[in-house]
Amino acid sequence: MSANQGRESAESTEAATGMDEVWIEGGRGLKGSVAISGSKNATLPILTATLLAPGVYRFTNVPALKDVSTMLELLTLFGVRSRREDGGTLVVDSTNAHNTEAPYDLVKTMRASVYVLGPLLARFGEARVSLPGGCAWGPRPVDLHIRGMQQLGADVELEHGYIVARAAALRGNVISFDISSVGATGNLLMAAATAGGETVIENAACEPEIEALGRFLVSMGARVEGLGTPRVSIKGSTELHVASAAMIPDRIEAGTFLAAAALTGGDVETAGVDPRHLGSILNKLEAAGVSVEASETAVRVRAPKRLRPLSVTTAPYPGFPTDMQAQFMALLSVADGASTIVDTIYQDRFTHVAELQRLGADIRVEGNTAFVQGVDSLSGAPVMATDLRASAALILAGLVATGETRVSRVYHLDRGYERIEEKLQGLGAAIRRVRA
């Protein structure tokens, strides 16, 4: 299939799924066990890292998501081939990888496409990547990515909406981020993997997904120390090689199902998770009155009929994740009292508020703070998803709303949740996807 055919196929798929709706009949407590898929946010940068060294890579526990498909489609433009096998296995062949540009019509659909910048610059000495798009809310400037590449010795310019970077040879340096950035940390890790000398990233992101990327680079032959801490050092190698990896569990998907269980007064086990990655989420659930039991690879929650109110402030890992803010807003909309949610990561990530209000939630927003007064019940209504996590929040709210809730524009869901309606059905929810 040609690149143009691939893009046309992706656009037609999005156009079709964009008309889909998810219908929920609320009022059922969730019970049972649900298997958590591999992490989207770990998979995406690891896939781009295959550009660093030619060969055939084998990945397991890869989620079947729209964002993963988009990344693979982007990589085909660089000569990278891929095929899926049974059981979530993905084989990626970068043997014939070559340099070209990452075009706007693909990059605009997914901000994580900017992850190709570091590997392309490291492998080919040149990269031309469109400024990213993605979810409609909030600016996510790429200046940290650009300044980091410049500090490694690259000449970087913005030309007609593209980041154009060139470097005869990257050299290690000390890079200190003003703010902790997952994307910039990942991009700099990959760029520094082949740079001469040592690179030190200060105020590096500590997220498990960045740690997973770093471990993968180590398995390729890079020397990385300090993963999971704010100070990461990388000693570049010109002899990186093929490696395999199993994707870590998706902590946001796990958190979403745990929140759904808590919201419905349910009893649910999330299987195939790493509880260490869920600390801040589990702490808040316990503070809300939820019973939490964790083993090495599973978390079980049992919830009371009514939750206690909370104060939630998002923060970089290990703080409370901004990607769980919307789901907890749905949860707290029926808690017994007044809650506050402060999002310190993205100050305008509240597009779901108006839709939750349509369901009867009592929420007031001032700046980056949402004041949530719990109500006795929500009432089903037609609502529209505005981004990935807002989609999940509206589905969660629909699980407890009386009557029927219809969530439109659910193509956002397919970017980050694998078969969420089927998994919720398995827990007893009355939910179905209605195709246009």
| Catalytic residue, candidates 53, 135, 201, 212 | 135
CB contact at 8 A, 172 and 195:
yes
Tokens for 49, please give them. Answer: 């890292």
Sheet holding 198-202, edge to edge: 174-176, 198-202, 231-235, 223-225
Alpha-carbon distances of 384 from 203, 237, 358, rounded to whole Å: 37, 48, 10
Distance, CA of 98 to CA of 105 (rounded, Å): 20
CA 387 to CA 32: how far, in whole Å?
28
**How far apart are alpha carbons 146 and 129 in whole angstroms?**
11
Please confirm, yes or no, whether 206 is among the known catalytic residues: no
Task: Read off the amino acid at residue 204.
Answer: A
Cα–Cα dist 89/59, whole Å: 6
Could you tell me the two tokens for 279? 């600390």
Which amino acid, 298?
Answer: A
321/280 Cα distance (integer angstroms) = 8
Give the position of tokens 């003003």. Answer: 178
For residues 314 and 325, the answer to whether their CB atoms sit within 8 Å is yes
Going 59 to 62 to 64 to 70, the CA torsion angle's sign is negative
Asked if 245 contacts 258 with a C-beta cutoff of 8 angstroms, the reply is no
CB of 144 within 8 A of CB of 178?
Answer: yes
User: How many Å apart are CA 196 and CA 312, to the nearest integer?
Assistant: 43
Spatial strand order of the sheet with 21-25 comes to 382-384, 404-408, 21-25, 430-434
Active site (catalytic) residues: 135
